[in-house]
Structure formats: structure tokens, C-alpha cells
């Protein structure tokens, strides 16, 4: 697992385009924030986006769920997720033993309220009190086809508590026998026996939060594990014969250069995982990283260097049999993450737990990010159900407008290698043909530059890898400008 000797530079023509465009870091989570000002400028009062005629909603029963388990050994320095630090420990068994005799412990209390939220949630729809049970259950019900335990570090949760959550989900919603059930697990928090226990509970997929194959980088990130733990975790995953597993990497970290990044990539490939998620570092407000670093400035890599790292990852992962099926995701055949596709395709999903955000029939609800506030929220949810099913006043978020749906559809579907389905857009929007023409006009220059492809046979628009993804910010901005012109 030594350094990889071959270095491939991003073509100079791309380097010039990156420099000229001022390529914006943030190919991952911050894209919505980057484009929000453009999306909001699309006229709400035009006939194109008039709510009573613009969008044909295809209602379908919700068959996916996200469950947030917020507990971590400690909070990483770049993390802005809602988490609860429970202290550092090395022995796997400690976590079960520590909470064995404490029914009122923090983890047990959290799971109590988490299960209560699940029990209160209407079957067939979910907006946490925005709909009555009668309204919700008219939509229909199917068992869950995907389930994702995220965090936090879900692998810290005692097995008996995880089993309790799964029992409630099976009883309340049902879980398909062939469902994809993913759990996130950090090195140093599981062993092969725990993984086998997960599989006995029905879990089919494990996502290992490696982040870096370098002790110095792990230390700079404030990770609770070391490189030794990473290799032990990989050994345990193989020993347990997990049917599908993924590992996470982060590019753009402090002090990371191209040589070190290539070594990380090759170590990830040598781990023989079925799936790799490779994210660009986001320096989020309110985190220690935000106080320590500025994007594009040392010791962080420059924007051009980060762009080159992205292109290099594409080259190496695809050369070793991974399909680059989404902006930050690579998979061997048959191992794409089915649950994440629900987000990218704009489908509805349940969400439970502290800070979790659900999306059902164009209604999005985010739960409180603080532990005690979440417990209070569940209590209020219970009281609202008891009081004639009245919705919770502070979570009554408005349904997404037709332009919101369109914006999300463009941004999320273009993350995928399969691209933006213009045929679906034409079917779902009354003025879909006009919207399609505006999009095709907006991307015409990008098509000529070799950044975007319009597949007329399948009626889809997609980025050409990697150049198109690297300059995707510019392309999507052009699309929003063109849609803005529809109001004139």
C-alpha cells in the first residue's frame, strides 16, 4: 500500500478554464447555498410557475427512511452535523457494557424518544404533524425499501438499542426482505463480531468513515481514530464478509498535496471496498476549521489544486473498475447506494431523530439540532396528535413551490452521471417544453466546449466527466439565468 508513482496532470486547457472561471470549491453539500440567490429570482408570480397549473405532482408512498444517531466519541474539527460527544474509548465492548445497567442513560433516553417519534408518524406520508393520519394514510403504504442509519457514529449505539429501533420500524412501517439497510461505522468502534451482529439484524451495507489513510491528516481533522484503526476496520469488514461496504475519503484537507492524495486514493482502492465516497472538504461556519482556515489558502490546497485532485480521483478510481455514477460516488457493479438515489431523484423520504430533515409530498421538516430541544419537540409532537391531530405550529413549513421543485430537480439530477431527465421535466411541468428549450439554449456553449452532453435519444442532459463536473457551478448558473428570463 505504498505511494503510487504515476502522476497525471489535469490538461492545461482545463487548468486555464478553471483559472478563468474561478472554480468554486464545494462540489458537495454547499451547492444549494451557492445557487439559492439565482433560484429565488425566478418569478413566483408568472404563469410559468403558477402553483395552480405549473407542476403535476406524482404522489407515491414513501419507501425510504433516514435515522439519525448523533453519538460520537468526539466532534471532528470540520463537522457541523448535530452530534453528541460521549467520550473517547478504545474497547468495542465498552460501549455496550457502559450503558448496560442504565435505563435512563443518554443513549437509552434518545432511543426512547426516537421510537416514540416513529410510532407517532403517519404511515404512508410524513411531515411530522403537517398532515393528519387520515390525510396521510390515504396516499397508500408500502414497506421500506431503503433505510440509512447516519450520524454521528451509529456504530457506538449498543446493539440492543439498534435492535429496538429496527423492531419499531418493522412494526410501524414494514421493511422489505430485500431492503438496502446501511449503517455508518467509524474505525475503532466495531469489530468483526459486531458486524456479524449487524447482519443478523438485517443490515446489508456498512459505510466506514475512513476519511484519510494518514495519521497526520487524521490528527489535523480531529478524528478519534488512527491509521491502525483504519486497517483493523478493513480487516474486520473482510473477516465478517459484509455483502456491500463503502469507505469515505476527504480531499482538500490541510497540508494535503497531490502526492499524498494519490497515496490515499490507492490505499482506498487496495482496501477492496465495493463503494467509495470522495468528498471535497467544506469549511463550514461555526466549526473550528472555520476559525483556523480559509478556503483556497494555505495550508489548505488552492482551488486549482483541489480541482486537480478531483480529476485525479476520477481517473484512478475508474481505471480500477469503479463506476463514477454520481458527483462524489464511485461503485463496483451492483453496489451503487440505492438510498442516496432517493435524494438525487427528488423522491420523498421519512427522517427521524435529532436534526434530521424529512421530505414528503413537497413538505420538508427539520427537527431540532440540540438533544434536549429534540426531546421536547417529540413531546410536543405527541401532544399535537392527542389534540385532534393539529400540526405543530413551529414546523408548519410551506410546501415547496413548483420553482423549488424545478431547482432541486436540476441541481440534484445533474449530480448523477445519468444526468437530468428532460422527459420527466416535460411530463411534470405544464410548460415543460418551454423549460426544456431554455435549458438547452443555456447549455449550448458548454456543449460546444465539451463540458456537457445532450443525449437526444434519451432526452437527458449530463456532464462530461471530469471537466463538466469541475465547471458544473458555471453551467448550472447559466441554466438559472435562462430560467429567470422566462418571466420577461
The closest alpha carbon to 250, from 290, 270, 288, 223, belongs to 223
Give pLDDT, residue 414: 96
E strand or H helix at 363, and its extent? Answer: strand 363-366
- The grid cell for 2 is 505504498
Residues with Cβ within 8 Å of 332's Cβ and at least 6 positions away in sequence, in order, are 274, 275, 321, 322, 323
| Closest by Cα among 434, 441, 453 to 54 | 434
On the question of pLDDT at 52 being above 70, the answer is no
- The average pLDDT across 304-315 equals 96
Separation of alpha carbons 140 and 317, rounded Å? 41
% of the chain beyond a pLDDT of 90 = 68
Strand-pair partners of 365: 358
Model confidence pLDDT, tens digit, residues 334-355: 999 999 999 999 999 999 999 9
Give the Cα separation of 353 and 360 in Å (integer): 16
Q: How far apart are the first and last CA of the chain?
A: 59
CA 51 distance to own-chain centroid: 29
**Lowest-confidence range among 18-22, 239-243, 358-362?**
18-22
**Are the CB atoms for 38 and 477 separated by under 8 Å?**
yes
pTM summary value: 0.85
The confidence score (pLDDT) of residue 297 equals 87
Q: Is the pLDDT of residue 100 over 50?
A: no
* Weakest mean pLDDT among 173-187, 215-229, 473-487: 473-487
Residue 31 has pLDDT above 90, yes or no: no
Task: Provide the mean pLDDT of the chain.
Answer: 84
Per-residue cell: 333? 457493479
Q: Say if CB 463 and CB 469 are below 8 A apart.
A: yes
pLDDT band at 103 (very low <50, low <70, confident <90, very high): very low
DSSP letter string, 188-206: TS--HHHHHHHHHTT--EE
**Average pLDDT of the segment spanning 456-465:** 96
What percentage of the chain carries pLDDT values higher than 70? 78
Grid cell in block for residue 242: 459484509
C-alpha cell at 382: 405527541
Q: What are phi and psi of 462, to 5 degrees?
A: -145, 155
By mean pLDDT, which of 153-162, 205-214, 294-303 is the weakest?
Answer: 294-303
Return the exposure string of 372-406: e unless at least 16 CB atoms fall within 10 Å of the residue's CB, then b: eebbebbeebbebbeeeeebbeebeeeebbbbbbb
Average pLDDT (206-220) is 97
Determine the Cα angle at 126 with ends 144 and 170, to 5°. 30
Amino acid at each position: 500500500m505504498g505511494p503510487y508513482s504515476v502522476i497525471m496532470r489535469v490538461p492545461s486547457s482545463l487548468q486555464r478554464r478553471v483559472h478563468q472561471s474561478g472554480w468554486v470549491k464545494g462540489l458537495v453539500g454547499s451547492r444549494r447555498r451557492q445557487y439559492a440567490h439565482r433560484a429565488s429570482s425566478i418569478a413566483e408570480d408568472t404563469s410559468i410557475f403558477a402553483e395552480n397549473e405549473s407542476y403535476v405532482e406524482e404522489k407515491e408512498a414513501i419507501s425510504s427512511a433516514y435515522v439519525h444517531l448523533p453519538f460520537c466519541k468526539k466532534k471532528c474539527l470540520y463537522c457541523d452535523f448535530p452530534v453528541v460527544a460521549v467520550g473517547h474509548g478504545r474497547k468495542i465492548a465498552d460501549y455496550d457494557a457502559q450503558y448496560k445497567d442504565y435505563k435512563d442513560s443518554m443513549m437509552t433516553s434518545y432511543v426512547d424518544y426516537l421510537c416514540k417519534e416513529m410510532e407517532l408518524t403517519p404511515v404512508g406520508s410524513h411531515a411530522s404533524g403537517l398532515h393528519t393520519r387520515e390525510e396521510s394514510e390515504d396516499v397508500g403504504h408500502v414497506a421500506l425499501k431503503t433505510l440509512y442509519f447516519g450520524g454521528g457514529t451509529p456504530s457506538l449505539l449498543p446493539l440492543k438499542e439498534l435492535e429496538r429501533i429496527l423492531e419499531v420500524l418493522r412494526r410501524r412501517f414494514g421493511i422489505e426482505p430485500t431492503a438496502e439497510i446501511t449503517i455508518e461505522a467509524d474505525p475503532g468502534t466495531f469489530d468483526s463480531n459486531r458486524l456479524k451482529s449487524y447482519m443478523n439484524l438485517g443490515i446489508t451495507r456498512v459505510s466506514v468513515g475512513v476519511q484519510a489513510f494518514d495519521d497526520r491528516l487524521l490528527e489535523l481533522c480531529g478524528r478519534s481514530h488512527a491509521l491502525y484503526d483504519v486497517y483493523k476496520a478493513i480487516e474486520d469488514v473482510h473477516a465478517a464478509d459484509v455483502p456491500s461496504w463503502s469507505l469515505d475519503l476527504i480531499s482538500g484537507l490541510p497540508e494535503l498535496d497531490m502526492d499524498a492524495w494519490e497515496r490515499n486514493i490507492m490505499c482506498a482502492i487496495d482496501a477492496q471496498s465495493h463503494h467509495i465516497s470522495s468528498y471535497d472538504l467544506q469549511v463550514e461556519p461555526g466549526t473550528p476549521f472555520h476559525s483556523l482556515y480559509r478556503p483556497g489558502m494555505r495550508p489548505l490546497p488552492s482551488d486549482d489544486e483541489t480541482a486537480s485532485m478531483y480529476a485525479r480521483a476520477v481517473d484512478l478510481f475508474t481505471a480500477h473498475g469503479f463506476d463514477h455514477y454520481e458527483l462524489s460516488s464511485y461503485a463496483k457493479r451492483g453496489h451503487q447506494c440505492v438510498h442516496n438515489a432517493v435524494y438525487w431523484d427528488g423522491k420523498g423520504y421519512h427522517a427521524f431523530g435529532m436534526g434530521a430533515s424529512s421530505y414528503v409530498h413537497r413538505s420538508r421538516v427539520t427537527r431540532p439540532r440540540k438533544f434536549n430541544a429534540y426531546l421536547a419537540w417529540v413531546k410536543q409532537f405527541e401532544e399535537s396528535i392527542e389534540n385532534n391531530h393539529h400540526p405543530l405550529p413551529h414546523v408548519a413549513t410551506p410546501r415547496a413551490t413548483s420553482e423549488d421543485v424545478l431547482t432541486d430537480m436540476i441541481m440534484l439530477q445533474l449530480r448523477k452521471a445519468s444526468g437530468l431527465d428532460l422527459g420527466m421535466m416535460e411530463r411534470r411541468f405544464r410548460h415543460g417544453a418551454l423549460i426544456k428549450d431554455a435549458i438547452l439554449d443555456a447549455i449550448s456553449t458548454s456543449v460546444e466546449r465539451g463540458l456537457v452532453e445532450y443525449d437526444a435519444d434519451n432526452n437527458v442532459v449530463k456532464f462530461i466527466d471530469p471537466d463538466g463536473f469541475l465547471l458544473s457551478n458555471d453551467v448550472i448558473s447559466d441554466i438559472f439565468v435562462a430560467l429567470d428570463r422566462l418571466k420577461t
